[in-house]
Amino acid sequence: MASINYALKEVSCKIVYYGPGLCGKTSNLQYIHQHTIADKKGNLVSLATPGERTLFFDFLPLEAADIHGFRVKFQLYTVPGQVMYNSTRKLVLRGVDGVVFVCDSQWDKVREDLESFRNLQSNLASYGYSLETIPYVVQYNKRDLSNICPVNYLEYVINTRQVPGFEGCALDGKNVFESLNCVCGMVLANLRSKQQEGSL
């Protein structure tokens, strides 16, 4: 969960990009890394196979504008989408504050999207978390392709809670920052409400 250092006046939050294999999670981080001010970002750490498959996870530290005198840092992670790396996905989810669920919009990937979303719920549940309490957005990626399914069906299958959803294209950056800003805003709002409740 988010850490607040009152001495250093610093807030640190963890955002995880989750989704099935090859849906564009790493592409999201790469685009964010390429289009962020240099002094507000760290190095993009990525451990991938020669076939550009994420082997462990990608990591990108970002610093947002100061809010109420606090420096706000976000650590962006991706998970490996391949089914066999579930223990890694579970590990990455530990202490998560917000999730960007990246869907592959292609017809033949919708089932994988659903399975990945259920896997996310299951892995969160193993830590006692739930999507009822952890802010998340859904990004319908690869909207530039021709064999894509309509967003209303993806919403029907994945986004039944009707949380914010974005039609995106991670390669050309469409709605990449919008998704990030939305989930970060929700994470901060969630932190504030928890602080007001006294549960943080």
15 vs 92, beta carbon nearer other proteins = 15
Cβ neighbours for 108, distance < 8 A, ≥ 6 positions apart: 147
Cβ neighbours for 57, distance < 8 A, ≥ 6 positions apart: 47, 77, 78, 79, 80, 88, 92
Q: Which residues bind other proteins (CB under 8 A)?
A: 32, 35-37, 40, 62, 64-65, 72, 74, 107, 110-111, 113-114, 118, 131-135, 147, 149-150, 152-153, 155-157, 159-164, 173, 177, 180-182, 184-190, 192-193
43 vs 152, beta carbon nearer other proteins = 152
- Nearest approach in angstroms of CB 72 to other proteins is 7
Which whole-number Å values give the CA distances from 109 to 83, 128, 165, 181, in the listed order?
14, 28, 18, 26
- Nearest approach in angstroms of CB 99 to other proteins is 11
Radius of gyration for the alpha carbons in the chain, expressed in angstroms and rounded:
16
Residue 152: Cβ within 10 Å count: 9
40 vs 94, beta carbon nearer other proteins = 40
52 vs 66, beta carbon nearer other proteins = 66
